Structure 1
Amino acid sequence: MITAASVQAAAEGLALVQALGVPLEKFVEAMRANASHSTTLAMKLPKMLEGDFEPHFSVKHMLKDMQIANDIALSRYLDLGLTAAARDQLVEQMQSGHGDDDYSSVARKFLHDIAPAVYEEPQTDTQDEQSDAGESISDTTESEAPRAESQDTASMTAQPRKLSGLSFSGGGDGSANTASRLRRGFLKQLLSRFSSGQG
């Protein structure tokens, strides 16, 4: 649970650094001198930078562990937001077909291209229209990409995934509904304790 959350936080840190145009290696260097540095981060950060998600511990196995932790917490009316958020990122990797990759592949969502990002001025609608008017899009890979993406989305939503007692559809509604019901149950129990003088 702690390891998954730590690697998720590192992936988000890398994304922020990349968005600012700072070389990712600077982040890794800064982390080495940071109190939150760990053996796990020493092993995972360089691999994340390289986009090397060869499994040491797979997404599917980390997800199983995170789901067990989340199920236990919810059964005790604990809302572990960080654990749930890290679990949701692992679910996203599973749904994208990366269940056998290393759990550090959560960085894939944030680091689309591993090279540091370069800041570019955003284009206005007028600039977009001007560039679109002068160009004809005839690249077949670009025209086929939306079709392939919609097929992937359809297959993810068509078959719910069953993980440790909770059902996850492509949109994650099963998890959200179950967690919401358990929170409401917790609140009802808490209110009944206060009204009976136990709290």
Structure 2
Amino acid sequence: MLQPILQIRQTPALMGIDADPGSYSISQPKAEISVTTTPCELTVQSTRPELTIDQARAWEAYNGGKMLDMNKRIYSGIQQLYLQGIARKVEQGNRMAQFFKPGNTIAEVYGSDTEPQSFPETRGPASYANVEIHFETRAPQIEFRASKVDIRVDRRNPEIEYTRGKLNIYMQQYASVQFIPPELNVQL
């Protein structure tokens, strides 16, 4: 005899998960750079050289120069001529005192004195160094101011955005248990 068998059918539960990952969006604006430059400055101040020419002594040698200087030369020259004249007269007097010596006659002492007396020199001495040349230069004044560079950076923070993904959890199939009884043939 066969024994009846009870059948049990079981269906497992199935869960469905639908998930999309989240996404990041990162952007960072460019930094702003501002550069300010102060230019350098160079200042040079130079003076013209000075040329001084003094030719007063050359004019004195050419034409006597200024009237005051010419008068001084004449005055000092007349003094010399006067002293020379006195010395000559003393010498002539001494010779005349010795008239008994040969050659000391009046005609010989005073007769030979026929040369005219020259006037004192009114001009200055002639020389190649009468003109004085003086050349004066001055060093330039130099001022320098260095340039300056000012750099300013305005940085921007990054902008981060996160978009959440989706998560969907659902039951694809529910669990079930099914009992199937055996068929019974009972005859009564």
Query: Normalization by structure 2: what TM-score?
Result: 0.18
Name whichever structure is richer in strand by fraction: 2
Query: Normalization by structure 1: what TM-score?
Result: 0.17
Name whichever structure is richer in helix by fraction: 1
The structure with higher relative contact order (CA 8 Å, sep 6+) is: 2
